[in-house]
Amino acid sequence: MRACISLVLAVLFGLAWADLYSAPTSCEGRCYEAFDKHHQCHCNARCQEFGNCCKDFESLCSGHEGFSHSSDAITKEEIQSISEKIYRADTNKAQKEDIILNSQNCISPSETRDQVDRCPKPLFTYVNEKLFSKPTYAAFINLLNNYQRATGHGEHFSAQELAEQDAFLREIMKTAVMKELYSFLHHQNRYGSEQEFVDDLKNMWFGLYSRGNEEGDSSGFEHVFSGEVKKGKVTGFHNWIRFYLEEKEGLVDYYSHIYDGPWDSYPDVLAMQFNWDGYYKEVGSAFIGSSPEFEFALYSLCFIARPGKVCQLSLGGYPLAVRTYTWDKSTYGNGKKYIATAYIVSST
């Protein structure tokens, strides 16, 4: 099941592929340049996602982010420490017996564009749906049908749908996971009160912006957790609960995976290929078996501490990198940026 881990790790961390690249050049002076197919290795914003970064990308292009003043910066060690606390606090996660996963065929990264279904059976053989009666799961699931997946169509929320956003935030803030995150960020002088924190979460995740031609057709929550379709391709869709529910309805067809994480309990990580009701997802990374508050907390932590950058976490003693992107075309509050996306880019 984990036979392809070593190969994929080499890709995810941007190491040279002997069969594809030779003598990668440096990212010196090239950080976040535009993609150029003629280059042997790359330093653009998405090179880690596609596994074609130059060897020194991490050291040259992923410095300390967060507040601009060093006295306010959140260090890598602090992020790893709080992510371990959040990991231990996730008591709502699935237990081993709650999920039976059938990951089937592991393919090489060079095969992800083939759009070939190499797995005849569903990804999820069994899920204990009693999990979904837990307050945070139920509140999360209520949000998933509030969106039109095609970009370019404006989102218009009813009073009930707006109330469901507030209900979700209210439920997750009762959990130890989110209490750990707020305590950490409060200590870091990012938020003066819990209400200020919740208000900011609502804006950054649920605030609408235009990803297509229609005003207010997207949000960070819709993109990351529910999924979207843009220019004939699936974008976002990084949530296992959404995947399971859509697969159960026959709307998701699991094709293959390129990475299965090292964790022997939940949450685990899977990077997979699938078809979502006629549209293909080339690589979709997702936590498996985590609670909604766990994912929401880690992605929020990374967006606040490393906005638009790679964020180095530690979960159960294993490193994990999450990449976030800011939405730069519009802002809220006093110039704050919305979440454009957040997803897992690497692990060992």
Active site residues per annotation: 223, 238, 281
The CA distance from 268 to 103, in Å, is 12
Compute the distance between CA of residue 249 and CA of residue 252 in angstroms, rounded to an integer: 8
Q: For 230, phi and psi rounded to 5 degrees?
A: -135, 130
Determine how β-strand 268-276 pairs with β-strand 336-347. Answer: unpaired
Helix axes 176-187, 194-206, angle to 10 degrees: 110
- Please, are residues 290 and 154 in contact by the beta-carbon 8 Å criterion? no
Residue 150 makes CB contacts below 8 A (sequence gap 6+) with: 228, 229, 230
**DSSP states of 173-203 as a string?**
TTSHHHHHHHHHHHHTTS-SSHHHHHHHHHH
Contact status, residue 323 vs residue 49, Cβ threshold 8 Å:
yes
Which residues face 321 on adjacent strands? 312, 346
Rounded CA gap, 202 and 225, in Å?
15
Helix, strand, coil shares of the chain, percent, nearest 5, are 35, 25, 40
Q: How far apart are CA 312 and CA 306, in angstroms?
A: 9
| Residues near 74 by beta carbon (within 8 Å), at least 6 away in sequence | 66, 67, 188, 305
Report the Cα 62 to chain-centroid distance in Å. Answer: 18
Give the N- to C-terminal CA distance of the chain in Å, as an integer.
Answer: 15
Residues in Cβ contact with 83 at an 8 Å cutoff, skipping those fewer than 6 apart: 298, 301, 313, 314, 315, 320
